[in-house]
Structure 1
């Protein structure tokens, strides 16, 4: 059973797979406007430009966070 959740935004979709998350905290410590554990949903893909969110997700060491860009032709990144 996959523990993947999808968070829809206007320009980017963010996927989170809790099964592979190592809880490094890079997401919440580095970009609290988008990743905030005190809010539901905890991921707000419209809280910043898609490019900034994508760059931050690229830093996820476990690969638990991936995304699909909706605002560019090369929309898939880090989604496997």
Structure 2
């Protein structure tokens, strides 16, 4: 069973799988308003536009972060 957590926003759902995360820090460095380790929950999917969040999640090197746009589109999981 995966250790995936879902963070629900009004336009986007952000999924985080801690078992896959390599702790590169790209998420918190690139969008600190959305990804803030000092807050609980640490992901705020309403802190930026769904487009900005989706583009940023697509840069996650491990694929630990994925998303679902509430218009029905899913991110593609990185292969590697």
Q: Distance in 2 between matches of 1:79 and 1:40?
A: 26
1:15-42 CA distances to partner (integer Å, 9 max, x unpaired)?
Answer: 0000010000000011000000000000
- Count how many residue pairs are aligned between Structure 1 and Structure 2: 78
RMSD (CA atoms): 1.5
Counterpart residue number, 1:32 = 32
TM superposition outliers: structure 1 runs of 4+ over 6 Å: none
Segments of structure 1 that go 5 or more residues without pairing to the other structure are none
Kept in 2, the 8 Å contact 1:67–1:79? The answer is no
Q: What is the TM-score with the length of structure 2 in the denominator?
A: 0.91
Q: What is the TM-score with the length of structure 1 in the denominator?
A: 0.91
